[in-house]
Structure 1
Amino acid sequence: MIGPRALSIRLSTLTGRGVASGASVGEGWPTDDRLSTVDSYVRTVGRRLRGPVGTRQGLMRELADGLHDATEAHVRSGLPVAAAQARAVRECGPVDALVAAYQPELAASQGRRTSMLLALLMPGLVLLWDVPWMFAGAWNTPAPRAVWVLSDVITYAGLAAGGCALLALAFFVAGARLRWSVGKLTGAIGLLGVVVLALTLACSAAMAVLNPGDTMAVFAWSWIGLLVEAVTIVATGSMTLSLIRSLRLAFGRTPAAGVRSASAVAP
């Protein structure tokens, strides 16, 4: 299997071939749909990939640039444009091979994003939730012991999730060198995030039920409590979306429909 970096090296090697010919690079190019075979090939690869949009677009730009350069090199060597495009596509390899090479990088990119969100937001929210109690909490009325136990569970779970997420980031860096399965790592951080987030929400709901008066005073009747609630909703939504994407990449199936080899897009 070739990786994206190896593919870039392969394409740059192809562009160095056949430059001794005196043919102009621009000669013979069609005025419309200049690189239709190359574009079709790149679009086919892009449709098969799953992952962060920005990373996917960057990989496809890199692939297209390499194929365009390889095509120009073949044109310089005397091939017609259509044949040059077809050769560049064939030399790049089957679509299946490129999808298999690119998909781990996309999974790693999503895993890193999810890990960074968990590392920042879970401990951050744990600390933030104490702020309304400091300003609007009722210090003269002790809360039930169960509330303190649940509060400790939330604190330890959030800090543990943040620590595990930082460790996962280190594993993603090491995994690129040690050839670890980034798909499994992305799935693991996704599952961890779901468990911790669900536990945190369940404990928070239980605390509100066990201590409704103080909870309403802190989070419903004070401006700082409402502000913290708004931040919590946005942060939770961001984490949930990232967790879903990580789990889909780790455990979902890459669509098999429309699987085509390089020869299928080359005339």
Structure 2
Amino acid sequence: MKKVFFSFEPHGRGGPRIREIPIRLILPNLVTVLAICAGLSGIRHAFEHRFQTAVVMVLIAAFLDGIDGRVARLFKASSKFGAQMDSLADIVNFGVAPALVLYAFLLDRAGSPGWIAALLFVIACGLRLARFNVLDEDEERPAWQAEYFVGVPAPAGAAVVLLPAYFGFMGVDTGRPLVYSACVYTVLIALLMISRLPVYSGKTAGKRISADRVIPLIFAVVLYVLLMATYPWQTLSVSAIAYLIYLPLSARAYSRRAKLEEAKLVQTESQSPSSS
């Protein structure tokens, strides 16, 4: 009997054919699919006027979409199939879902300007993700620059762009001032995503910490989780504002690092035998 479904080949064509797929290879793709389901469910809840649930679903989608790559690396299950799935999920969870949820909650009251702002955010997210994929394959890029994103990363943009919704859930008047301010704010976040602003990623910060920092770190994480559980919208608002304040500090640190690396390069060239 002819098979109904095509065989799952996690490593793409050209590799050895695998008849039985280990569960660890499927797990990252399952996380990606669950992220897409959460993002689309957030859109549904938004258009059914369950806005708080919609925002929670979008944040869950962003979280799941942000960890699927780490799950793949942890279980050594990276694959071309997973990379393509992740790219498709990113545009849904970091672009379409937050834009439509914010539009249904607030931006639609502005009419066409609100829809234009939502569209620009989705387009900016797509451009941001495409540029990330291109830079990730750039082998000539200096190693230290890999510590920085170019522009606000899509997961952060998805969480930060919902700041007007957080304000609305806290009881802030959702009248015309907030509506039109949200339109301008959405476009601003879109511009930050496609900008050349260097944003520290923290990926190379190391996997170990000193022993004297373990207890304070555990305390800080537990405190943040408790604040999220007790005062979710206030905590998310403060987190989003803190992230926006962090951006110029990150750019300043990048500028200092670039000058330091340039000075090291000049010193190395001056000490090389060819320069004598």
Give me the TM-score of the superposition, normalised by structure 1.
0.26
Give me the TM-score of the superposition, normalised by structure 2.
0.26
